[in-house]
Chain A
Amino acid sequence: MQDHELIKRIRQGEKQLFGQLIEKYYDDVFRYCYYQTGNEHTAYDCTQETFYHLMRFLENYREQNRFKSYLIRIALNVCKDYFRKNGSRTVSEVSYNQWTDNAAPGQNTANIPPSVVGPERDTVIRLLVREGLMLLSESQREVIVLYYYQGYKLREIASLTGVPLSTVKTRLYAGTEKLKQYLKEEGGLI
């Protein structure tokens, strides 16, 4: 069933169909929330909160075949709200710094040592990228997540985040530069 049909029927009173709508978009929303908050538990909470918001204001949704974007916009606001209430950083479960703290004495932790290969190297890169993303400002991370992970175009991001296109470009540029610098200095990756 198409989104617009589903929403129309939910509005008409078939509330049991709401489950189908959540099933369809749960993963997308979770992924966005995870990248934005960097924490699995927080991502679950934000995902649930997003659907609660959707639930309350579904009546105000006007069909434009952009339901996913509408949902992501809600998720974006929910994450912003989360950061406002809980400070700008979330606690990562395992940080890259913890990994470097465990490095052997004398080992150069500025770069990932060549001895670290295979899955362990992937894990380290993952931690490093996550740390890097969390070091960015909320707005820079938002743009990077939407651009690289969600695949939105810059113009769409401008609409989603409610800032001018030029600001999106500036944030993307500043964010990627900061991230690249971090990845280069901490892991020698770029």
Chain B
Amino acid sequence: MKISLPRREELIKDRRKPFRSKRRLSGKGLPEKDLELETLLKQYTPPEIRPDIRKSQITQLSADIRNTDYLPRQSFMEQILTHMSFISGWVWLSQAGMLFLIFYYIFQTELLLLNTLLSCLAPGLSLILVYEVSKSFRADIWEMEAACRYNLAQIFFFRLCILFGGDILVLTIALIAYRMVGGLLWQFCYYALLPFFLTGAVSLHVLRRIGNRCNSTVIAAVPLSVGILDFWVMPPVEKGFSFGGISLSKGIPIVTMLALFLLLYNTLKLCTKMHYLNENRKDHSAWNFE
């Protein structure tokens, strides 16, 4: 007997179907039995508000507001500076350490070794960024959200701005040094930029998908995989491998641009279309915390 298996597309389509309770719905869309629960829950009423406490609190609050200055709206730079103070010190230290390493070796070793060093450091640079950003997911960053001043998307945006700013600075300095010792641009793209962009894009995608379940192991796995992939692909590249007649000097920058596009796409998605902030995707400013 021939058994027909559902096609992959059907399975995917099925998985995307919205949740539907199999129980009969009634009333305001509650399952039948839950109305019974609702009746029970409604019997639990809060105590009568004590007028004396109510009055004293309102008086106290009204008096306090007279002495309170609202926190003013902040400019972009002010917001960046505010968020900068929340970035851990080890991020700056690690970035400075990486720069030191690059400068230490750049004038001492041959280009091949320097390339290997760059290939190792680039995913690490991305790892620092993703690890720092993921802390907002894992710690739920209540300390700032509770203040209702920023929402999580904004926190991500500012953190990414700061961290990318730092990383770009490191990479720019590294590029200048690399060019000074005779390295080619496509080589720098291949050994530093591509692993950095790729790690960042994949990590942010993973972060976006699995949110607060993202732990250190998952975060570390991505740069490690990219690093391994890098070392695996490195020997044929060094031998001057060409793909379909496209030379490496043209092909690598194109692939790097693609990786950059992927990184920007994931960054943008993380900051603007966070599914848990805008489920229907129409109501982008559902919550007005600036």
Q: Using CB atoms and an 8 Å cutoff, list the residues of chain A in contact with chain B.
A: 11, 15-16, 18-19, 22-23, 26-27, 30-31, 34-35, 40, 43-44, 47-48, 51-53, 55-64, 66, 70, 73-74, 77-78, 80-81, 84, 122, 125-126, 129-130, 133, 144, 148-149, 155, 158-159, 162-167, 169, 176, 179-180, 183, 189-190
Contact = CB atoms under 8 A, between A and B. Distances in A.
A43 B58 CA distance: 15
Contacts of B289: 57, 60
A48 B38 contact: no
A26 B280 CA distance: 30
B279 A30 contact: no
6 contacts: A22-B57, A162-B276, A163-B276, A164-B276, A164-B279, A176-B34
A74 B142 CA distance: 12
Interface centre among B36, B58, B65, B285 (most CB of A within 10 A): B65
B148 A53 contact: yes
B276 A158 contact: yes
B68 A55 contact: yes
A32 B46 CA distance: 9
B44 A162 contact: no
B43 A125 contact: yes
A64 B61 contact: no
A183 B142 CA distance: 33
A60 B290 contact: yes
B276 A122 contact: no
Given A11-B70, A19-B61, A73-B148, A155 B142 contact: no
Given A62-B285, A155-B280, A162-B277, A53 B62 contact: no
Interface in B242-258: none
